[in-house]
């Protein structure tokens, strides 16, 4: 596939790395020649220096031949103009990153057909949605929804639980739930019934959304009670979006924001949240406001160093769960190594939304897990694909992948090898990157 990426920030870098690894023909555009040179040294890409919204630059990149153009700079206006110019020049599919809520109708994070663009994504709103899911799924490290929210995946730390050192086939697990993957010392395992969960593993469970709560209680490291008291550091787009959503569900929300003008705006825009003007890394302020008594602390400032420092401070004060935004994805391992409970990379989320448009088969969504060691793929099963021709145990499904759930007219099914996929079903699959091409082959027409 011929793909043009406009903007080589964190979203563009991640996209380019993933797409060249999959042998796509990638052209990158950026106005910073040093960034382009670094990308050319690491990746098999064609680099064009210039303004991505310029017609001459787009023509130099031959966007008229592009099957996909992704405009993902940090400037909304550049992305919008570049997308419209690329569409006018003949590019097939256009995706644009647009973060300001002033351009967006509603708060769903991904929008089809607005502004004359095929798909518009908001890194900030996507991140806010993920933060909200992590707050509601109190014990989880990560959460993802599939099949129109009827299926949910959660990543749980196990600790030293009673479920350890028992063959999975012998565990009396809640119904409609599957242990789809185990993360052990940086290795992703797609388990069989003869595998065991070991102390300090993290597990990925998938099943009916309304059954996940019971599964968390069964599998997860204890975090007593539900989350009600939330403190958010940073009143920008993400912090504001999180607070506005939580207000509607009667959470007790406090926002710490250093900019007085932003505090004034938040006070007017939010009806229930308490706004605190101050420095979220000021230990005296955190102690005075009793932040340590909160159930969840969300570090949502624009600076990674502030988010990390604040998260570590409030952990020492006793907060039950810390969630931190990581704007530079290469910092994620540092955050996790230092003990923060959950991390969210807004730019990585945006890149994953775009990746689904270049994957084979009828892919509904693609989510990386465990820093790319695994993936969750959601397919719609085509009528003439191999996956629907036999029971799952006879389809040649590759080792290193597992069907976590099937959603269709029959409802939600956590399948066994004796079950069968029907045309039009949504199929959620855990896979390692190495075997994904073999999974995709099963869903080709």
pTM (global) more than 0.85: no
Considering only residues 334 and 329, tell me which one the structure prediction assigns the higher pLDDT: 334
Instruction: Tell me what percent of the residues of the chain surpass a pLDDT of 70.
Output: 96
Contact 9, 74 (CB under 8 A): yes
Sequence-separated contacts (24+) of 85-89 with Cβ below 8 Å: 85/53, 85/54, 85/55, 85/58, 86/4, 86/58, 87/116, 87/117, 89/55, 89/58, 89/59, 89/63, 89/64
Question: At residue 224, does pLDDT exceed 50?
Answer: no
The whole-angstrom distance between residue 267's C-alpha and the CA centroid of its chain comes to 30
Q: How far is CA 249 from CA 135, 144, 154, 253, in A?
A: 12, 20, 21, 11
In order of start, what are the domains of the chain with their CATH numbers? 2-121 (3.40.50.720), 129-219 (3.30.70.1450), 229-349 (3.40.50.720), 352-442 (3.30.70.1450)
pLDDT band at 68, cuts 50/70/90?
Answer: very high
Pair of tokens at residue 312? 């570590």
DSSP 8-class letter at 395: T
How far is 87 from 388, CA to CA, in rounded Å? Answer: 36
Token pair 């647009």: residue = 98
Least confident of 83-87, 341-345, 353-357: 353-357
| pLDDT of the residue at 356 | 66
Cβ pair 320, 348 in contact under 8 A: no
Helices 237-247 & 260-269 angle (0-180, nearest 10):
30
Q: What is the pLDDT of residue 186?
A: 80
Nearest to 207, CA basis, from 274, 136, 130, 146:
146
pLDDT score, position 327: 87
CA–CA separation, 36 and 31 (whole Å): 8
Residue with more model confidence, 420 or 218: 420
> CA–CA separation, 420 vs 271, rounded Å?
50
> What is the per-residue pLDDT for 226?
64
What does DSSP assign to residue 381?
A: P
Q: What is the pLDDT of residues 285-296, one digit of tens each?
A: 999 999 999 999
What value does the mean pLDDT of the chain take?
A: 89
Residue 260, token pair as written in the block: 């007085």
- Number of other CB atoms surrounding residue 4 within 10 Å: 27
Query: What is the per-residue pLDDT across 157-171, written as a single tens digit (0 to 9) for each?
Result: 887 778 899 999 999
Weakest mean pLDDT among 266-275, 338-347, 362-371? 362-371
Distance CA 113, CA 279 (A): 40
**The pLDDT of residue 239 is above 90:** yes
Pick the closest to residue 82 from 125, 30, 40, 37 (CA basis). Answer: 30
Other CB atoms within 10 A of residue 160 CB: 9
Contact call for residues 324 and 344 (beta carbons, < 8 A): yes
Cβ-in-10-Å burial (0-12, 13-18, 19+) of 319 comes to buried
Grouping H, G, I as helix, E, B as strand and the rest as coil, residue 44 is coil
Cα torsion at 319, 321, 324, 330 (round to 10°)? Answer: 120
> pLDDT, tens digit, for every residue of 371-393?
778 888 888 888 889 999 889 99
Q: Please report which residue ranges of 270-406 form alpha helices under DSSP H.
A: 283-288, 304-317, 332-337, 346-355
Residues 6 or more apart in contact with residue 387 via CB below 8 angstroms: 379, 381, 395, 421, 427, 442, 443
Q: Residues 6 or more apart from 15 whose CB is under 8 A from it?
A: 5, 70, 72, 351, 354, 355
Four-point Cα dihedral 125, 127, 132, 134, nearest 10 = 170
pLDDT digits (tens, 9 = 90+) for 170-206: 998 888 899 999 999 888 999 989 999 998 899 999 9
Tens digit of each residue's pLDDT (9 = 90 or more) over 88-132: 999 999 999 998 878 888 777 788 888 889 999 988 888 888 898
Report the pLDDT value the prediction gives residue 358, as an integer from 0 to 100: 65
Q: What is the pLDDT of residues 403-419, one digit of tens each?
A: 999 998 888 999 999 99
pLDDT band at 218 (very low <50, low <70, confident <90, very high): confident
Write down the pLDDT at residue 222. Answer: 45
């Amino acid at each position: 596939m011929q793909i043009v990426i406009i903007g080589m920030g964190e979203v563009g870098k991640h996209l380019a790395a993933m797409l060249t690894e999959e042998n796509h023909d990638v052209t990158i555009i950026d106005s910073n020649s040093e960034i382009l040179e670094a990308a050319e040294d690491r990746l098999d890409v064609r680099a064009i220096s210039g303004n991505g919204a310029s017609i001459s630059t787009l023509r130099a990149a031959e966007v008229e031949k592009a099957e996909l153009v992704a405009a993902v700079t940090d400037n909304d206006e550049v992305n919008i103009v570049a997308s419209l110019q690329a569409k006018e020049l003949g590019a097939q599919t256009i995706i644009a990153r647009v973060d300001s809520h002033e351009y967006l109708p509603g708060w769903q994070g991904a929008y089809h057909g607005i502004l004359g663009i095929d798909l518009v994504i908001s890194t900030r709103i996507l991140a806010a949605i993920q933060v909200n899911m992590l707050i509601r799924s109190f014990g989880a490290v990560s959460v993802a929804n599939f099949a129109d929210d009827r299926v949910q995946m959660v990543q749980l730390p196990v600790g030293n639980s009673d479920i350890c050192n028992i063959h999975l086939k012998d565990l009396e697990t809640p119904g409609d739930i599957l242990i789809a993957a185990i993360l052990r010392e940086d290795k992703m395992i797609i388990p069989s019934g003869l595998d065991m969960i070991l102390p300090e593993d993290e597990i990925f469970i998938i099943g009916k959304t309304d059954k996940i709560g019971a599964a968390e209680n069964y599998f997860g490291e204890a975090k007593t009670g539900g989350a009600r008291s939330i403190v958010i550091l940073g009143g920008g787009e993400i912090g504001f979006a999180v607070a506005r959503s939580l207000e509607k569900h009667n959470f007790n929300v406090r926002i710490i924001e250093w900019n007085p003008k932003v505090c004034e705006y938040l006070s007017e825009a939010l009806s229930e949240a308490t706004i605190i003007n101050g420095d979220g890394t000021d230990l005296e302020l955190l102690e005075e406001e009793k932040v340590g008594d909160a159930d969840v602390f969300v570090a949502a400032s624009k600076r990674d160093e502030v988010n990390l420092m604040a998260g570590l401070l409030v952990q020492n004060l006793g907060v039950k769960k810390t969630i931190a935004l990581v704007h530079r994805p290469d910092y994620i391992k540092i955050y996790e190594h230092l003990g923060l409970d959950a991390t969210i990379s807004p730019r990585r989320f945006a890149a994953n939304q775009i990746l689904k448009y270049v994957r084979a088969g009828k892919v509904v969504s693609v989510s990386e897990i465990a820093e790319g060691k695994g993936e969750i793929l959601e397919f719609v099963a085509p009528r003439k694909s191999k996956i629907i021709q036999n029971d799952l145990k006879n389809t040649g499904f590759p080792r290193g992948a597992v069907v976590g759930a099937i959603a269709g007219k029959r409802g939600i099914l956590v399948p066994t090898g004796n079950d069968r996929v029907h045309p039009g079903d949504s199929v959620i699959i855990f896979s390692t990157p190495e075997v994904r091409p073999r999974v995709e082959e099963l869903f080709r027409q």
